[in-house]
Amino acid sequence: MERTLIILKPDAVQRRLIGRVIQRFEDKGLAIVGMKLMHISRELAERHYAPHKGKPFYPGLIDYITRGPVVVMVLAGERCIEIARALMGKTFGYEAAPGTIRGDFSAGRTFNLVHGSDSPESAAAEIALYFKPADLLEYTPAGSEWVFARNDV
């Protein structure tokens, strides 16, 4: 079962969109296997966004993610990275399609509400920054056999 890290960024928390955003992932059939509300320290933010260090937007990205509380969660499901990224929509809210999280709730470049891992490798590395293995659950949500067919036709 694939896993991904999702962060509901400070703008999502401040705008009281936590429940509405989480509902989108659950409605699609993804399981929450770990979740917490926290402040991301500057040190943790710099480790998380290390691949972007030196880029012009890096300082603003660090300031943004450390600006207020976030919800950090791990989702699990078949193809969950691909599914989560489709649900989030394009990075900039004004480019994101209606029906996506960013398309429905974001209009700008900086405040884009949500982060999601972009590959299994980045998911594993990002999850390890925020969660210990013992913090993550293994379970099969009731009804998942009606979401993820084992023999897609």
- Told to judge if 115 belongs to the known catalytic residues of this protein, a careful annotator would answer yes
What's the distance, CA 103 to chain centroid? Answer: 15
Only one residue has tokens 């705008």, namely: 15
> Which listed residue (39, 48, 52, 115) is catalytic?
115
Within the chain, strands assigned E span: 2-8, 31-38, 70-77, 114-116
What three-state secondary structure class fits 125?
helix
Answer yes or no: are the C-beta atoms of 59 and 65 closer than 8 Å.
no
Please state the φ and ψ torsions of residue 4, each to the nearest 5 degrees.
Answer: -145, 155
Q: Where in the sequence numbering do the catalytic residues fall? A: 115
